[in-house]
């Protein structure tokens, strides 16, 4: 079992019983390069960055992890550009992989994204993992002049264009939303035939998109309490679709994102009969990680819950995971036929 970490370029996460929130962290306290270096030192497999272009001041779009309908972001929320941060981190780290969690495909022209993330893979010498989603915040789609209603169809085309841009000498596409011909995109990424692409989908539609167009499924377990096997029906869909498409599921990755927080035994969260996901003592967290492995997942990307909203609390969590959880997690073997995250 590998452990990744969700980075803090949109602020530290914390949640109550129903909703998740993000602290509005000043830029001076984000320190994304230092956070990635600390994660690398403590044995994390990868560091993952979120994507927003802007933040609507007035928004009726609740975060997908929020039950009550409350928004997770503040109206004037500090956010850094994921690709720029990943380039800076690539220059200052050696081993840790760099992931997007997740790139909202319809926000930008797919050729622009293909160029940016080929560059990240080149600068990092082959450490990119591309997590892709179709998006959820309707007001942000409006701001960037995209149609929220057709985002899924656009995402399908974007995924095809990323791969053609990274693999083909002559790049052409004739779709409903994007059309171009007789262009090149060089240099190609380091990883062949392309960097791994995982789709962040929690629905049957997302599962089918993942096996058709991607290299893995990346469901998000961001609500307070969730069972690791809740997406077993999506895995069944993937198996059936793979048979139809004559695809080999042993080359398909299963990974997940989940909230996490290491505590002492005296902490109230550690004493709850139904604990928040990946929260509690190191032993309790390892129990949850075993459940994810039993459900077929070979990596969990941890979004550290930091009630103080401070960078120092996140760094304390990184160090504690590195000392007390990651060494033991390495010995957890995922079940199922899926490809291990490498």
CATH of the domain at 36: 3.20.20.30
Asked if 175 and 105 count as a contact pair (C-beta separation under 8 A), the reply is no
- Spatial distance between the Cα atoms of 341 and 327, rounded to a whole number of angstroms: 17
* Burial bucket for residue 31 (CB in 10 Å: 0-12, 13-18, 19+): middle
Q: Is residue 338 part of a domain?
A: no
CA 243/CA 339 separation, integer angstroms? 16
> What is residue 312's predicted lDDT score, i.e. its pLDDT?
92
Q: What percent of the chain has pLDDT over 70?
A: 94
Distances (CA, A) of 309 to 36, 57, 81, 161: 18, 21, 20, 38
Residue 334 in any domain: the answer is: no
Whether residue 315 is contained in a domain is answered as yes
What is each CA distance from 76 to 54, 60, 170, in whole angstroms?
A: 9, 15, 43
Under DSSP, the state recorded for 240 is H
C-alpha dist (Å) from residue 332 to 2, 201, 227, 267, 299 = 9, 25, 18, 26, 10
In a domain, 133, yes or no: yes
Residues 47, 299: Cα–Cα separation, whole Å: 12
Q: What is the pTM of this model?
A: 0.95
Asked if the structure places residue 81 within a domain, the reply is yes
The whole domain housing 210 covers 2-329
- How many C-beta atoms surround the C-beta of residue 329 within 10 A? 22
pLDDT for 18 beyond 70 = no
Q: What is the mean pLDDT of residues 76-84?
A: 91
Longest Cα separation, the chain = 64
pLDDT of residue 38: 98
- What are the pLDDT digits (tens) for 287-338? 999 999 999 999 999 999 888 888 899 999 999 999 999 999 999 999 999 9
Provide the domain count of the chain: 1
CA distance 319 to 270: 19
As a whole number, mean pLDDT of residues 64-83 equals 78
pLDDT surpassing 70 at residue 7: yes
- Nearest-angstrom CA–CA distance, 73 and 166: 34
Region at 31 (left for phi over 0; alpha for psi -120 to 50; beta for the rest) = left
In a domain, 341, yes or no: no
Residue 336 lies in a domain: no
Judge whether 7 lies within some domain.
Answer: yes
pLDDT digits (tens, 9 = 90+) for 43-55: 999 999 999 999 8
Per residue in 252-274, pLDDT (tens digit) is 999 999 989 999 999 887 888 77
Neighbours of 169 (CB within 10 A): 8
- pLDDT tens digits for 129-185? 999 999 988 999 999 999 999 999 999 999 999 999 999 999 999 999 999 999 999
Instruction: Please return the burial class of 33, using the count of CB atoms within 10 Å of its CB with bins 0-12, 13-18 and 19+.
Output: middle
The answer to whether 289 and 43 are in contact (CB under 8 A) is no
What Cα–Cα distance (Å) separates residue 176 from each residue in 6, 166, 205?
A: 34, 21, 19
pLDDT per residue over 175-229, tens digit each? Answer: 999 999 999 999 999 999 999 999 999 999 999 999 999 999 999 877 666 788 9
Q: What is the DSSP letter of 331?
A: T
User: Which residues face 253 on adjacent strands?
Assistant: 216, 339
Q: What gap in Å lies between CA 100 and CA 171, rounded to an integer?
A: 24
Distance CA 302, CA 304 (A): 6
On whether the CB atoms of residues 35 and 49 are closer than 8 A, the answer is: no
Q: Which long-range contacts (CB under 8 A, 24 or more apart) does 116-121 make?
A: 116/83, 117/83, 117/162, 117/189, 117/195, 118/165, 118/166, 118/185, 118/187, 118/188, 118/189, 119/83, 119/87, 120/83, 120/86, 120/87, 120/90, 121/189, 121/190, 121/191, 121/195
């Amino acid at each position: 079992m590998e452990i990744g970490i969700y980075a803090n370029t949109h602020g530290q996460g914390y949640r109550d019983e129903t909703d998740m929130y993000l602290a509005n962290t000043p830029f001076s306290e984000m320190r994304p390069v230092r956070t990635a270096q600390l994660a690398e030192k403590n044995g994390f497999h990868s560091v993952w960055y979120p994507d927003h272009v802007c933040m609507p001041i007035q928004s009726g779009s609740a975060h997908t992890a929020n039950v009550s309908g409350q928004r997770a972001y503040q109206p004037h929320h500090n956010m850094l550009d994921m690709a720029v941060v990943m380039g800076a981190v690539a220059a200052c780290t050696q081993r840790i992989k760099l992931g997007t969690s997740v790139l909202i495909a319809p926000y930008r022209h797919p050729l622009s994204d293909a160029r940016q993330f080929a560059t990240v893979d080149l600068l990092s010498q082959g450490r990119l993992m591309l997590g892709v989603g179709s998006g959820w915040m309707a007001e942000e789609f409006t701001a960037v002049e995209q149609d929220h209603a057709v985002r899924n169809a656009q995402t399908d085309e974007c995924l095809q264009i990323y791969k053609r841009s990274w693999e083909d000498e002559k790049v052409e596409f004739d779709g409903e939303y994007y059309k171009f011909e007789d262009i090149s995109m060089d240099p190609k990424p380091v990883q062949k035939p392309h960097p791994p692409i995982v789709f962040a989908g929690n629905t049957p539609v997302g599962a089918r998109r993942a096996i058709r167009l991607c290299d893995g499924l990346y469901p998000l377990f961001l609500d307070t309490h969730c069972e690791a096997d809740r997406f077993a029906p999506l895995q069944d869909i993937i198996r059936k679709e793979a048979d139809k498409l004559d695809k080999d599921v042993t080359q398909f990755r299963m990974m997940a994102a989940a909230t996490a927080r290491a505590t002492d035994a005296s902490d109230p969260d550690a004493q709850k009969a139904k604990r928040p996901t990946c929260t509690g003592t190191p032993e309790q967290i390892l129990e949850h990680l075993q459940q994810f492995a039993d459900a077929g997942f070979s990596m969990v990307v941890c979004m550290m819950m930091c009630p103080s909203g401070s960078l120092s609390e996140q760094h304390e969590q990184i160090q504690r995971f590195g000392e007390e959880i990651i060494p033991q997690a390495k010995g957890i073997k995922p079940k199922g036929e899926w490809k291990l995250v490498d």
